[in-house]
Amino acid sequence: METIIFYIISAILIVFSVLTVTTNKILRAAVYLLFTLVATAAFYFMMEYEFLAAVQLTVYAGGIVVLIIFSILLTHQINMDLEKSDRLKKISSALIVLLGSIIVIFTISKYPFIPGSGIEDAADTSINSIGRQLLSYGEGGYILPFEVISILLLAAMIAAIIIAKKEKE
């Protein structure tokens, strides 16, 4: 059962990501991106990382895609059809991508992945333990990246405001 769901979701993922990068209309590209992100969240749910899935949906699907749509509106792109790129660029990038994916997939299929120990030793993924781990210092504690991320977000906020504000007349 789960395998079938997995294949369906991965199909959705691939199809919509292809559509995102090849469509002519920009708003549709944003919507396709949204669907891609939702499919990713579905992956996380299937792998029993619910918190991560929730964060993905909230931040990515609810925040970034909305931000992108706002920027489309702000730069008056919403009515325009995207110009077609020239043939040469498309073909050369397609070639590179094909080559790259072949190399990587070939390498991966050759490599013997040793699976982990099984469900008995699985870590606790409840939100309780996530919160505790996020704020603990010591072994397996992530307090330092947490604080750094908060400063990064502060900096990003200030930067975004300053770069995008209008010049005083």
Partner 1 sequence: MDFSFTIYIVLIPLFAFLVNGLLGNKIKDSVSGYLATFALGVSTLLSYFTAYHYFFNVGKVDGIYQKITAFNTTWVNFTDKLHIDLGVLIDPISVMMLVVITTVSLLVHIYSLGYMKGDEGFTKFFAFLSLFTFSMLGLVVATNIFQMYMFWELVGLSSYLLIGYYYTKPSAVAAAKKAFIVTRFADLGFLIGILFLSYTTGTFDFITLNEGASAFAQAAPLGFMGLSVLTWSLILIFIGGAGKSAMFPLHIWLPDAMEGPTPVSALIHAATMVVAGVYLVARLFPLFSAVDAIALEIVAIVGALSSIFAAIIACTQIDIKRVLAFSTMSQIGYMMLALGVSGMEEEGTGFMGSMFHLFTHAMFKALLFLGAGSIIHAVHSNKLSDMGNLRKYMPITHITFLIACFAIAGIPPFAGFFSKDEILVAAMAHNPIYFWIEWIVAGLTAFYMFRLYFGIFWANDKKHEHAHESPFSMTLPLIILAIAASLVGFIPFNELVTSDGKILDIHIHWDIAIPSIAVGIVGIIVAFIFYKKENSWPSKMVKIFGRFYTHALNKFYFDEIYMFVTKKIIFKRFSTPIAWFDRNVVDATMDGVATVTNYFSEKIKGIQSGQLQQYVMASITAVLIIVFIFNYLIS
Partner 2 sequence: MIEGIDIQHIIIVSTLMFFIGVYGFMSRKNLITMLMAVELMLNSININFVAFNRYLHPENMQGHFYSLFIIAIAAAEAAVAISIIINLYRNLHSIDVEDVNKMKH
Task: List the single partner that 43 binds among partner 2, partner 1, none, CB under 5 to 8 Å by kind.
Answer: partner 2
Burial of 97 (0-12, 13-18, 19+ CB in 10 A): exposed
State in angstroms the smallest separation of the CB of 109 from partner 1: 13
State in angstroms the smallest separation of the CB of 104 from partner 1: 8
Q: Can you tell me which of 8, 100, 136, 147 binds partner 2, judged by CB under 8 A?
A: 100
Phi, psi of 113 (to 5 degrees): -80, 130
Q: Name residues contacting partner 2, limited to 58-77 (CB under 8 A).
A: 59-60, 63-64, 67-68, 70-72, 74-75, 77
Q: Name residues contacting partner 2, limited to 118-147 (CB under 8 A).
A: 118-119, 121-123, 125, 130, 133-134, 140, 142, 145
